[in-house]
Amino acid sequence: MQIYNTATRKKEEFVPRFEGKVSMYTCGPTVYHYAHIGNLRSYIMEDILEKYLRFTGYDVKRVMNITDVGHLTSDGDTGDDKMLKGAKREKKTVMEIAQFYTDAFFEDCKKLNIKRPDVVEPATQCIDEFIRVIESLIEKGFAYEAGGNIYFDTSKLEQYYIFNDFKEEDLAVGVREGVEEDSNKKNKADFVLWFTKSKFDDQELKWESPWGVGYPGWHIECSCISVKHLGEYLDIHCGGIDNAFPHHTNEIAQSEAYLGHKWCSYWFHILHLNTNSGKMSKSSGEFLTVSLLESKGYNPLVYRFFCLQSHYRKSLVFSYENLDNAVAAYNKLTAKIGTLLSAEQGEIDKAKYDELMKLFCEALDNDLNTSLAITALYDVLKADTTPATKIALIKEFDKVLGIGLIENAAKADDSGESDIPQEILDLAAQRAEARKAKNFALADELRAKITEMGYIIEETRQGTNIKKA
């Protein structure tokens, strides 16, 4: 498999350190609010990567942290504490909101068919680990104390900037306004490993440390949690592109200084989901969550399908119009699969199966090209072969794609209009006509008649649905 490695700026053959095994680390959510669908684009594409690696036979161990302490609104050492801000907003404790939004995150993941990583570790569970690594960094001369805080000394590295051929806007460090210079820093790029002089008087979570009562910086969390569960060598590290700098840059600095050797071989970054007006936000404009999409009648798996239609290394624009197009394509797809399921199956044609499977794997082997993988799915539907061959392939593809192709096709087939009496179908058609002509009184009358006859008519984003009551 070829993967684009952000650290080398090249597509490279993916070769894990130990044959047949992959260690994979993912930056988890900062649990101060719901995840927006942009965050979830990253987790969907990482899920596809994990599932495809497993599909090709690797034994994957995937670890994710939960950021419940230390993440400031600037992504660096300035701005407000995100968790504290969330707690104030909801008049709850930091740990209460951390638990609530961690659960909400995994609920969203479930709806989007995102597998839970093998290990999920909240940062607040690893404080001793962070202290131990920071102590070692001080001992090795990579960290210093100034004004009560512990800083990483970036001047001690041969190379600090790893990913810096990005465009300036890709490297923008979160919220920029109100950035104040920290005069304790020896070098501009130095960053905090441990805060004891909190500028947040009401900082709730603090721990004893050799440098006084305080709390960890965000970046040290990921280095420590990765090394704790995956050892000294990491095959692949994932995250959204905004994390490349400063977060991942700082992770590399700390981890390699601590370990004394190269740490992670491949860096997999997902480009952003944006709105027509720009950056996706949790605080301004429409806060786009999975629940919001559901409340508007969208199946979360259609959002997953929408994400798969584009390559992860291209930024993607979300609009309801784009999502509606995905709905239409998804419905056509599942309807076709529904027809296949109810057809005479025949035998599996092995040669054809292998030929079509090859197309799917070639697409994903080429830097996880999911849009080509979807094309391979259409190729299956168009192919001149038995329904049994097609269904077998679709079931396999969906182990990676995770868009409920068989389940939703079966549903589409069940709720298909075939077993609805013609009389009801005629009434429904008349009602649709009445609605089109904006004759809502007649439409309501027809709906009442349909209900009286024991059927339910539902309007969904996917169209009108008729069911037995």
Which among Zn ion, ligand AMP, none contacts residue 219 (Cβ within 5 to 8 A by kind)?
Answer: none
Q: How near is the Cβ of 222 to Zn ion at its closest, in Å?
A: 3
Q: Which is nearer to Zn ion, 27 or 227 (CB)?
A: 27
Among ligand AMP, Zn ion, none, the one that 386 touches (CB under a kind-dependent 5 to 8 A) is none
Q: Which of ligand AMP, Zn ion, none does residue 42 bind to, with CB < 5 to 8 Å depending on kind?
A: ligand AMP
- Cross-strand pairs, 21: 59
Q: Would you call 193 exposed, middle or buried from its count of C-beta atoms within 10 A (0-12, 13-18, 19+)? A: buried
x/- site string to Zn ion, residues 16 to 35, per CB under 5 A?
-----------x--------
Total number of residues binding ligand AMP (CB under 6 A)?
Answer: 16
The Cα–Cα gap between 170 and 241 comes to: 7
H-only helix segments in 285-439? 290-295, 300-308, 320-342, 350-365, 370-382, 387-401, 405-414, 422-436
Under rule CB under 6 A, residue 83 binds ligand AMP: no
Nearest CB to ligand AMP, comparing residues 136 and 281 = 281
CB neighbour list of residue 182: distance below 8 Å, 6 or more residues apart:
77, 78
Torsional sign, CA 339, 345, 350, 352: negative
- Choose between 218 and 397: whose C-beta lies nearer to ligand AMP: 218
Give the closest residue to 219 by CA, choosing from 181, 177, 172, 256: 256
In the bound state with ligand AMP, the residue whose beta carbon lies nearer, of 30 and 254, is: 30
Residues 90-129, one symbol each (x = binds Zn ion by CB under 5 A, - = not), give ----------------------------------------
Structure tokens at 417: 């209009």
- H or E stretch including 143? strand 143-146
The residue among 112 and 424 lying less far from ligand AMP, judged by its C-beta, is: 112
Residue nearest to ligand AMP (CB): 240
Burial class (CB in 10 A: 0-12, 13-18, 19+), 322: middle
Give yes or no for residue 38 binding ligand AMP (CB under 6 A).
yes
Q: Which is nearer to Zn ion, 81 or 398 (CB)?
A: 81
DSSP character string of 17-40: SSTTEEEEEE---BTTSPPPHHHH
Smallest distance from ligand AMP to CB 407, Å: 27
| Closer residue to Zn ion (CB): 193 or 222 | 222
Select the residue interacting with ligand AMP from 240, 246, 300, 402 (CB under 6 A). Answer: 240
Which of 153, 242, 251, 398 is the binder for ligand AMP (CB under 6 A)? 242
Q: What is the largest CA-CA distance in the chain?
A: 83
At its nearest, how many Å lie between ligand AMP and the CB of residue 59?
24
Angstrom distance (rounded) from CA 295 to CA 317: 21
Which of 239/404 has CB closer to Zn ion?
239
CB 118 within 8 A of CB 61: yes
Distance (Å, whole) CA 320 – CA 293: 9
- The full DSSP string for 52-104 is HHHHTT-EEEEEEEEB-S--BTTSSS-S-BHHHHHHHHHTS-HHHHHHHHHHH
Integer Cα distance of 404 and 304 in angstroms? 10
Instruction: Rank residues 154 and 223 by Cβ distance to Zn ion and give the closer one.
Output: 223
Using a 10 angstrom Cβ sphere, with 0-12 exposed, 13-18 middle and 19 or more buried, the burial of residue 45 is buried
CA dihedral sign of residues 34, 40, 44, 50: negative
With CB cut-offs between 5 and 8 Å by kind, which of Zn ion, ligand AMP, none does residue 222 bind?
Zn ion
Among residues 143 and 252, whose Cβ is nearest to ligand AMP? 252
Using CB under 6 A, which of 3, 27, 53, 134 touches ligand AMP? 27
Binding to ligand AMP (CB under 6 A): which residues in 267-306? Answer: 270, 272-273, 280
CB of 67 to Zn ion, least distance (A): 7
In sequence order, what DSSP letters do the residues of 230-283 get, joined into one string? Answer: H-S-EEEEEEEGGGIIIIIHHHHHHHHHHHSS--EEEEEEEPPEEETTBS--SS
Which residue's CB is nearer to ligand AMP, number 84 or number 392?
84
> Mask of contacts with ligand AMP, 49-78, x by CB under 6 A?
------------------x-----------
Footprint on residues 206-265 left by Zn ion (CB under 5 A) = 222
What is the C-alpha to C-alpha distance for residues 46 and 271, in angstroms, rounded to an integer?
A: 12
Site string for ligand AMP, 314-333 (x = CB under 6 A): --------------------
CB of 227 to Zn ion, least distance (A): 13
* List of residues contacting Zn ion (CB under 5 A): 27, 222
* List of residues contacting ligand AMP (CB under 6 A): 27, 29-30, 38-39, 41-42, 67, 239-240, 242-243, 270, 272-273, 280
